[in-house]
């Protein structure tokens, strides 16, 4: 599934443009961090994508089909996880999910299969008979995620899912999101916790005052690779790393090493070959991603209006 947001514009009272000619795209298997200051237009954009609001102009295309012109098709393709979950004391987790499964058009045995499947995936099996108002914030977020997944959508839109969660719940949510991306969902997720996004996202879209801003810093021509070896090698690896062809610098990172090399896949491949030639076999070999916090501070101005 390919999702294309094209030229979205949304204006509110007195001509305020919450979304201003916004365009970006993502596809199956990608987890995209949707980042911006408060009031940047993230929630408005997500609501338009989920067909909960209409733009003044522009479109959202799902494999070329307009979600604006064909909302019923968009409903089948998109799961939307808002930033809160309404609580009804007389509604259990199971009843809540059953209702949404029926609302999405599931019938017969498919309802129970889907509800039980998302309860199992989100860890709600032991909570299915609890009422929503008896759940913790973390469990309510799991219910909200299960509700968004109950019809097995190709696209998942998540608005601040980690808001208010404790550290354990954030980690568990992050692992669920990564699993969904690995299983082929196209995911757009907003959060103010940029370090969390960097752990789970394959790319990011940064907006400010309703517009996308350039999120690419100037390429220095160099990159860092994270390495870790078996304990007997890891302790005294620095000199051997510095003597490895292609390594420009080597730093201890606590649990392993960081080495600087020229940027690009050929340089990384050459490093791997040279390490093996020196009998330095890594148990971790991973490019170090650019820090999203640094990029965010570099490209945004902090203006709200």
pLDDT digits 0-9 by tens, 189-213: 998 888 778 778 888 899 999 999 8
Number of domains the chain is built from: 2
What count of other Cβ atoms lies within 10 Å of the Cβ of residue 30? 18
Q: Residue 77 falls within a domain, yes or no?
A: yes
Q: What percentage of the chain reaches a pLDDT higher than 70?
A: 92
Q: Which of 37-41, 162-166, 206-210, 220-224 has the lowest mean pLDDT?
A: 220-224
- For residue 37, give every residue at least 6 positions away whose Cβ sits within 8 Å of its Cβ, in sequence order, or none: 208, 300, 302, 303, 304
What are the angstrom distances between the C-alpha of 215 and each of 36, 43, 82? 11, 20, 25
DSSP secondary structure code for residue 14 in this structure:
G
> Are residues 162 and 272 both part of a single domain?
no
What residues pair up with 68 in beta bridges, in sequence order?
Answer: none
Looking up tokens 């690009």 gives 264
DSSP string, 197-231: HHHH-SEEEEEETTEE---PPPP-SEEEEEEE--H
Range of the domain at 266: 222-287
What whole-number distance in Å separates Cα of residue 75 and Cα of residue 24? 20
> Are residues 119 and 267 both part of a single domain?
no
Query: Which residue, of 183, 212, 241, is where some domain finishes?
Result: 212
Q: Which of 43-52, 173-182, 199-208 has the lowest mean pLDDT?
A: 199-208
> Are residues 168 and 194 both part of a single domain?
yes
Q: For the segment 73-114, what is each residue's pLDDT rounded down to a tens digit?
A: 999 999 999 877 765 678 999 999 999 999 999 999 999 999
CB 30 within 8 A of CB 2: no
Angle at 184 between CA 62 and CA 180, to 5 degrees: 110
Q: Is the pLDDT of residue 126 over 90?
A: yes
Q: Model pTM?
A: 0.76
> Of residues 237 and 254, which shows the higher confidence score?
237
State the CATH number of the domain containing residue 266.
3.30.70
């Amino acid at each position: 599934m390919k999702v294309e947001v094209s030229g979205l514009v949304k204006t509110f009272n007195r001509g305020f443009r919450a979304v201003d000619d916004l365009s970006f795209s993502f596809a199956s298997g990608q987890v995209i961090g949707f980042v911006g200051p408060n009031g940047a237009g993230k929630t408005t954009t997500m609501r338009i994508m989920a067909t909960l609001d209409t733009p003044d102009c522009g479109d959202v295309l799902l494999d070329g089909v307009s979600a604006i012109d064909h909302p019923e098709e968009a409903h089948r393709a998109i799961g939307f996880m808002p930033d809160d979950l309404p609580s009804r004391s007389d509604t259990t987790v199971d009843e809540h999910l059953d209702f949404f499964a029926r609302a999405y058009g599931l019938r017969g045995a498919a309802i129970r299969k889907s509800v039980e499947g998302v309860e199992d995936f989100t860890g709600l099996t032991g909570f299915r008979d609890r009422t929503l108002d008896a759940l913790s914030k973390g469990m309510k977020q799991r219910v909200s995620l299960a509700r968004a997944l109950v019809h097995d959508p190709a696209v998942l839109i998540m608005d601040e899912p980690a808001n208010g969660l404790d550290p354990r719940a954030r980690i568990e949510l992050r692992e669920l999101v990564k699993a969904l991306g690995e299983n082929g969902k196209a995911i757009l997720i907003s959060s103010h916790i940029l370090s969390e996004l960097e752990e789970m996202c394959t790319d990011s879209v940064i907006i400010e005052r309703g517009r996308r801003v350039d999120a690419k810093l100037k390429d220095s021509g160099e990159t860092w690779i994270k390495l870790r070896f078996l304990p007997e090698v890891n302790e005294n690896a620095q000199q051997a790393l510095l003597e490895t062809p292609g390594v420009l610098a080597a730093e201890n990172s606590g649990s392993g090493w960081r080495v600087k090399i020229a940027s690009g896949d050929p340089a990384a491949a050459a490093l791997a070959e040279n390490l093996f030639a020196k009998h330095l076999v890594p148990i971790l070999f991973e490019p170090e991603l650019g820090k999203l916090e640094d990029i965010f501070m570099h490209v945004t101005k902090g203006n709200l209006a």
